């Protein structure tokens, strides 16, 4: 057994070696198979990419060819257009020369008619502007537009107006002159101011309403409806003035509207509405006072206070003066309700005083009455002096603001500058309006107080003289 053991070991080793070789061969074959598959897949993908690249290159080449064709077409079109442009430039030069020749021939052929057409064009242009605001355009709303087309046609230098158009212009001029002498009643829509309303932004805007009204037109000068005056606007038609006329104008206007025949007195606007428009824009007295602002309100307040005080003092002093005159007729029975009676009471209470003492006592009595008589009169005088000074202060302040506005915006608009100066002078006017009557009221009050004091002094002098007589 021991002798066969090495042999057995060798056999086992040979068997293991054989199995190892067998297994190694199988693994190598399997690995070789996987590599072949990979190579095959790579070759397949490469062939596919090569085909796609070839197709893409083919498309790119086709697109390049197409774009090249478009480029060539555009170059050809540009060449053609340049050729056409050269032809048009040449034709333009020829046409320009031909136009100059034709215009020269036209001017030669027209001769004196050229001046005639110029006069017609100027007349039509002026008539067109006049008819835009003419009251007669209410009855002929299209005539201004027709004249505009006629003027544009004559300005083109290529067309001449026809005989019919010239006759139409003559008719319009003749019709305007004829209508100026007529008083016509008719019904037409009138636009008038109806109030204010708040918009989306919170601002108040004017609201206008249009309704049919009976109109009385006096030539091209005035048009009235009821108590209102209307003007004609080319865009809005008949428009009512925002402010009514004075009462005397309303009376004559109503007489005219109610008259059916005969002669009626009526005031006309020779400017065809210009004066009336300016008249309604003139501020009222209340609006002028508002232009004075704070200084103006202070002056008016002081004026009212001075007026009330002066009236009260004048009435009071008139009553006192009447009582003094009544007391002067009866010196023996003094009344304590008037200054003279109170002074007589002092005289009667001191019958045995010497003349010098009596003079002092009566003088003292007069001095006690003087402040009561002159109460508030000095305040009236102060207001009379202060009012024009406040007016001057408001004027200076307003002028400063006006010159500041001129510095910022320039003096290109004289109307605006004149309006600012007018507003500045309002306070001066208010100051004088308050001061002049206040001075007069002060004189009335002070003169009454002075007459009463003179009566007291005169009576006191007589009493002192009588006292001297009694002691002599």
pLDDT(28) > 50 = no
> Cα–Cα distances in Å, from 328 out to 309, 347, 348, 460, 468?
28, 14, 15, 11, 21
pLDDT of residue 315: 95
Encode pLDDT of 194-239 as tens digits: 777 877 777 778 788 888 888 888 888 888 888 888 888 878 888 8
Query: In the prediction, which pLDDT does 418 show?
Result: 66
CB atoms within 10 A of CB 361: 17
- Residue 189: how many other CB atoms lie within 10 Å: 13
Angle between helical axes of 339-349 and 355-373 (0-180°, round to 10)? 160
Which of 26-30, 144-148, 277-281, 381-385 tops mean pLDDT? Answer: 381-385
- Size of the chain, expressed as the number of residues it contains: 472
The string of pLDDT tens digits covering residues 348-359 is 888 778 888 888
Burial of 191 (0-12, 13-18, 19+ CB in 10 A): middle
**Domain spans of the chain?**
1-82, 111-181, 184-280, 293-471
Is the whole-model pTM more than 0.75?
no
Contact between 219 and 176 (Cβ < 8 Å): no
More confident residue, 175 or 311: 311
pLDDT at position 390: 93
- Give 418 or 321, the one with higher predicted confidence: 321
Per-residue pLDDT averaged across 80-104, rounded? 89
Alpha-carbon distances of 419 from 398, 414, 415, rounded to whole Å: 11, 8, 6
pLDDT band at residue 416 under the 50/70/90 scheme: low
Mean pLDDT on 115-136: 83
> Considering the chain, what percentage of its residues have pLDDT values greater than 90?
21
pLDDT tens digits along 252-294? 888 888 887 778 888 887 777 777 777 776 777 777 888 888 8
**3 state DSSP class of 353:** coil
pLDDT digits (tens, 9 = 90+) for 292-325: 888 899 999 999 999 999 999 999 999 999 999 9
């Amino acid at each position: 057994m021991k002798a066969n053991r090495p042999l057995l070991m060798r056999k086992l080793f040979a068997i293991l070696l054989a199995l190892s070789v067998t297994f190694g061969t199988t693994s190598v074959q399997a690995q070789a198979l996987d590599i072949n598959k990979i190579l095959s897949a790579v070759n397949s993908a490469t062939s596919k990419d090569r085909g796609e690249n070839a197709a893409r290159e083919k498309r790119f080449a086709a697109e390049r060819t197409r774009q090249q064709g478009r480029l060539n077409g555009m170059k050809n079109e540009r060449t053609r257009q340049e050729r056409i442009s050269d032809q048009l430039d040449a034709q333009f030069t020829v046409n320009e020369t031909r136009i100059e020749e034709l215009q020269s021939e036209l001017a030669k052929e027209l001769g004196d008619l050229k001046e005639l057409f110029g006069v017609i064009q100027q007349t039509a242009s002026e008539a067109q502007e006049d008819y835009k605001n003419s009251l007669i355009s209410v009855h002929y709303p299209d005539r201004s537009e027709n004249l505009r087309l006629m003027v544009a046609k004559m300005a083109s230098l290529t067309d001449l107006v026809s005989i019919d158009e010239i006759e139409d212009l003559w008719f319009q001029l003749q019709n305007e002159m004829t209508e100026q002498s007529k008083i016509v009643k008719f019904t037409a829509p009138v636009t008038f101011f109806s109030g204010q309303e708040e918009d989306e932004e919170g601002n108040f805007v004017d609201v206008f309403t249009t309704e049919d009204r009976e109109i009385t037109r006096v030539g091209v000068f005035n048009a009235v409806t009821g108590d209102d005056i209307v003007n004609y606007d080319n865009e809005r038609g008949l428009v009512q003035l925002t402010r009514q006329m004075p009462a005397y104008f309303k009376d004559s206007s109503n007489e005219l509207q109610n008259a059916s025949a005969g002669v009626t007195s009526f005031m006309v606007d020779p400017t065809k509405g210009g004066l009336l428009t300016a008249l309604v824009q003139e501020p009222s007295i209340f609006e002028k006072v508002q232009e004075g602002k704070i200084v103006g309100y202070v002056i008016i307040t002081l004026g009212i206070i001075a007026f009330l005080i002066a009236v009260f003092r004048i009435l009071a002093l008139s009553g006192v003066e009447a009582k003094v005159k009544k007391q002067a007729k009866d010196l023996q029975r003094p009344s304590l309700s008037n200054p003279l009676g109170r002074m007589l009471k002092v005289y009667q209470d001191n019958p045995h005083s010497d003349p010098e003492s009596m003079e002092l006592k009566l003088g003292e009595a007069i001095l006690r009455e003087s402040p009561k008589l002159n109460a508030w009169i000095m305040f009236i005088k102060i207001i009379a002096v202060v009012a024009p000074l406040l007016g001057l202060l408001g004027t200076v302040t307003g002028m400063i603001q006006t010159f500041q506005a001129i510095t910022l915006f320039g003096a290109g608009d004289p109307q605006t500058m004149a309006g600012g100066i007018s507003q500045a002078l309002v306070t001066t006017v208010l100051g004088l309006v308050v001061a002049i009557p206040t001075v007069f009221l002060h004189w009335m009050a002070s003169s009454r107080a002075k007459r009463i004091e003179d009566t007291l002094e005169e009576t006191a002098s007589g009493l002192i003289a009588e006292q001297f007589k009694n002691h002599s």
